[in-house]
Amino acid sequence: MTEYTVKTHGLTKQFGTKIALNALDLQIEKGGIHALIGSNGAGKSTLFRILLGFETPTSGSSTLLDIDSQALTPEMRGKIGYVNEEHTLPNWMNAASLTKMQKKLYPLWNQNVYDNVIENFDVAPDQKIAGLSRGERAGLNLATALAQSPELLILDEPTLGLDVVAKQAFLEALLFIGTENESTIIYCSHQMEEIERVADSLIILERGEVKNQSTPDDFCERIQYWIANFYGKAPDINDIKAALSVKNIEGQTHIICLDQQIGYREYLASIGASDAVEVPINLDNAVNAFLAKNHKRSQSKLIVGA
C-alpha cells in the first residue's frame, strides 16, 4: 500500500496530432479534498477516463487505489464514487427505491452518512427522481455517493447550474463529510470561491501538464498584484518581467506577476513605474491570470511546432 490514491508516470494520450496528456506525472495523496482545475481542453476529462479504465493511454502508466487503472475489477470500482455535473440518476425511481438498490450494491453503505447529507436538501423518500429540482437531484446524488463509503470520490463540476441556496447546502454537506470519513475527494470545478472554501490542495492542469500542485494559500503567495503609474505608455506585457497580466484601469497599470516576492517594486521603478503598490489578490484573479498566461504560451508552442 502507498500513500497515494492517484499516481501517474509519463502518462500520455494523443488523439491524432492533438496531445491531450503530455507525459503527465501526478501524485494525489490519500485523504482530503484535492481541487483539479484547468482551462477547457486542459486534459481533465481525458485523465478521468484513463484513471477509471474507460480510455487506454498512448504511453505511460497510472494507478488508482494502488491498482493499475487499466485493470480495475468490479470490486475496486465499488470503492469509487462519481458525481457529474448532470447528476445522472435513474428517473423512473423514487428516492427510497434508489437508496434500497444502493444498499444492496454497496456492502459498506453508511445510512448515518446518507441521513446527515440528505437532511440538507428537501428530498422526501417517496419523491420521484424525475420530479426533483436540479438542487435536490444534486443533493440526492451526493448523499448516495458518500453513503457508499468510497475510498475515492470524484466530483466533476457538481454545483454547475445550482442556485445559491442549493450550492450552499451542497458545500456544507461536503465539508461535513470531510470530517467524518477518510475518503479522498477530487473536486473539479471552475468556481474559485468553492475551491477556496473546501480544497486542501490545488492542482492546475494545462495542456495535459501539471503547472501547479500546492495548497490554495501557497499558490496565492506565488502571485503578486501591483498597481503602478507609468508616465507615458506602459510597457507591453512581454516587456515586463514575470508578468501574467497587464491592464490599464482608470489611468493606472495593474500588473499580476508570478514568483516575484522580493525586489519587484525596485524593478518596476527601473522600467519607469512610480508609486507602485502591492495589493492583496484573491484565488479567482490569481488562477485566471495564471491560466490565461499558460494557455497563451501553450498555443504559441503549438503554432511554432505546426
Tens-digit pLDDT profile for the chain (306 aa)?
A: 568 999 999 999 999 999 999 999 999 999 899 999 988 888 898 999 999 999 999 999 999 999 999 999 988 888 998 888 888 889 999 999 999 999 998 888 989 888 888 888 889 999 999 999 888 888 899 889 888 888 999 988 888 888 888 888 888 887 776 555 678 999 998 889 889 988 999 999 999 999 999 999 999 999 999 999 998 788 888 999 999 999 999 889 999 999 999 999 999 999 999 899 999 999 999 999 999 887 565 443 433 332
Q: In a 10 Å sphere around its CB, with 0-12 CB exposed, 13-18 middle and 19+ buried, how is residue 83 labelled?
A: buried
The pLDDT value given to residue 78:
87
Domain ranges of the chain: 4-214, 219-305
What burial class does residue 301 get, using C-beta atoms within 10 Å of its C-beta: 0-12 exposed, 13-18 middle, 19+ buried? exposed
Distance CA 257, CA 243 (A): 4
Give the side-chain half-sphere CA count within 13 A for 304: 6
Question: What confidence score (pLDDT) does residue 181 get?
Answer: 63
Cβ proximity of 41 and 194 under 8 Å: no
Q: What is the CATH number of domain 4-214?
A: 3.40.50.300
Nearest to 150, CA basis, from 114, 119, 123, 190: 114
The pLDDT value given to residue 142? 86
Q: What is the pLDDT of residue 246?
A: 93
What local confidence, expressed as pLDDT, does residue 295 receive? 59
The pLDDT, as a whole number, for residue 293 is: 81
Cell of 39: 482551462
What is the tally of helices (H) and strands (E) in the chain?
Answer: 10, 14
CATH class of residue range 219-305: alpha beta
